[in-house]
Structure 1
Amino acid sequence: MVNKVLAAFVTMDILFVAMGAIMLGFSVIVQQTCFDTPTEGNEAARDLLYQRFPFTAGIVNAVFIFITFLTTLPALATNSRGWLKVAVWMVVVDAVFTMSIGVDLWILTLKMKDAFLQIWLSQSPQVQDLMQTAFSCCGFNNSTSPAFVTDATCPSPAAAALMRGCSAPLTSFGNTFVDNIFTAMFGMVGIDVVLIMSIACLLKDRKERERYRDIDEKSGARGTF
């Protein structure tokens, strides 16, 4: 008969290591591509936001997840509770680490307008042009502050004055985009929590089995006299 407690632990352990693989793949790939020259305004805004993400922390966290997963393998191969105790503390550390990354991204959403202002000021006219075109806006706060870039969307000062500034659409885009990312991070913390609970249940189950085994051994020993 399948041990349901063990099966639940194995399921969560697999989800846990899959989470690490996703985090590692995402961090490595995006970190390598976010500095590519953009060809479209939404792509430019997204990649410029990516450049502010803590990808190094994400990679370190993913590696720690793999190490933690490796500590669970001896616990699966044996009935030892020692490895499980080590693993549960490592999962707790990982949960705190992942939560801190999510909180860092959440804080970014609170300062999104200021972040995009700094981004806007540091970009070339070509990138500003891409974002003006994609978000149908001129300048940042308005067409004069900072000044717009002349393009098809903003062909003249008079036309630009009738258009909204890019701060509102860029901030809305950034908040929605980063919200999805840090929500995913908090979801990963949820997986950590469920894994911790499954390890706790498995520890209790193994402790109970050891107790019953000791009782059976003592009963058997008495029966020999």
Structure 2
Amino acid sequence: MPSKLMIIYVAFDLIFAACGGLLMGFSLISEQRLRNTPTVDNVAQNLLLGQCPLTAGVVNSIFVFVTFILSLPALFLPLNRGWLRAQGWLVVFSAIFTLGLGLTVWVETLETRRRLNDIWGGEAPLIQSLLQQKFDCCGYFNSTSPGYVTDAVCVSDLVATQKGGCIRPFYLFANKYLDQIFTAAFGIVGVDVLLVLCVAMVLKYRQEQERYKHIDEKNGAGGF
């Protein structure tokens, strides 16, 4: 019967693989969404996702799956430590990779206002109009700033002046959305750290088992 330590180790190894699947699914689904026709419902999310390292997320998830597959021999070879050491280093690398992705998104949140202005200014009038409709506002700063579009929401300059600019609602939405992404990335890093600790404990346990085995062999040999 497996020990509690091995059960915990296997559980975190499976959670580690599940995090890779989550990362892969999010990255691929997000890339698919970016190819969809922009609408009021998806325009803001897509603009923000376009600034995220989605391709790097796919690469990271593939690395997670490879690490998980390489960990399987460690499960079926109860005294082996080489595969465990290799898994430990690979998980550390994966954690650093994921941490880098999370920090990239986090840094973007620190410059959200400036970046959103650049994003807004670089989009076509159709996208700017969809953003105005989504946040019920007119123009980025106000109706006199570049990027203001007359549409169903901003039907006239008077209405546009009363509604105000999109900077605040867009900024709040972007911060909340990006916060969820980098928080999830940091959560995956937390799982990686716990798995590394489990690997270290299993290595220590197997080292002790091997030591006791050598002691028993010496004692048995001395009895003849």
Could you say which TM-score interval applies, normalised by the shorter chain? over 0.9
Letter in 1 for 2:178: V
Between the aligned partners of 1:2 and 1:64, the Cα distance in structure 2 is 28
Report the counterpart of residue 157 of structure 2 in structure 1: 157
| CA shift for structure 1 position 172 | 0.6
- Note the residue ranges of structure 2 that are not aligned, 5 or more in a row: none
Aligned to 2:172: 172
Q: CA deviation at 1:122?
A: 2.1
Matches within 5 A, 1:138-153: 138-153=138-153
Deviation at 1:126, TM superposition (A): 2.1
Q: Is the 8 A contact 2:125 2:147 kept in 1?
A: no
SS of 2:141's equivalent in the other structure is coil
Say whether residues 1:62 and 2:87 are aligned partners.
Answer: no
| Residue type of the alignment partner of 1:36 | N
Shift of 1:128: 1.5
Contact 2:24 2:57 in 1 (8 A): yes
Q: Aligned partners of 1:213 and 1:135: how far apart in 2?
A: 69
TM-score (structure 1 length as normaliser):
0.95
- How far the C-alpha of 1:214 sits from its partner, in A, is 1.2
CA distances 1:96-152 after superposition (whole Å, capped 9, x unpaired)? 000000000001111112222122122222222221111111100111112521123
Check conservation: 2:120, 2:147, Cα contact below 8 A: no
State the 1:166 CA deviation.
0.5
For 1:26 and 1:122, the matched residues in 2 are separated by: 26
Moved over 3 A (4+): none
Between stretches 60-69 and 146-155, larger displacement belongs to: 146-155
Q: CA RMSD in A?
A: 1.2
DSSP-derived class of the 2:42 partner: helix
Q: What residue in structure 1 maps to residue 50 of structure 2?
A: 51
Alignment of 1:193-204 (within 5 A): 193-204=193-204
Asked if 1:73 is matched to 2:72, the reply is: yes
User: Which residue pairs with 1:91 in the alignment?
Assistant: 91
Equivalent AA in structure 1 for residue 59 of structure 2: V
Counterpart CA distance in 2 for 1:212 and 1:147 is 74
Task: Give the unaligned 5+ runs of structure 1.
Answer: none
CA deviation after TM superposition for structure 1 residue 32, in Å: 2.2
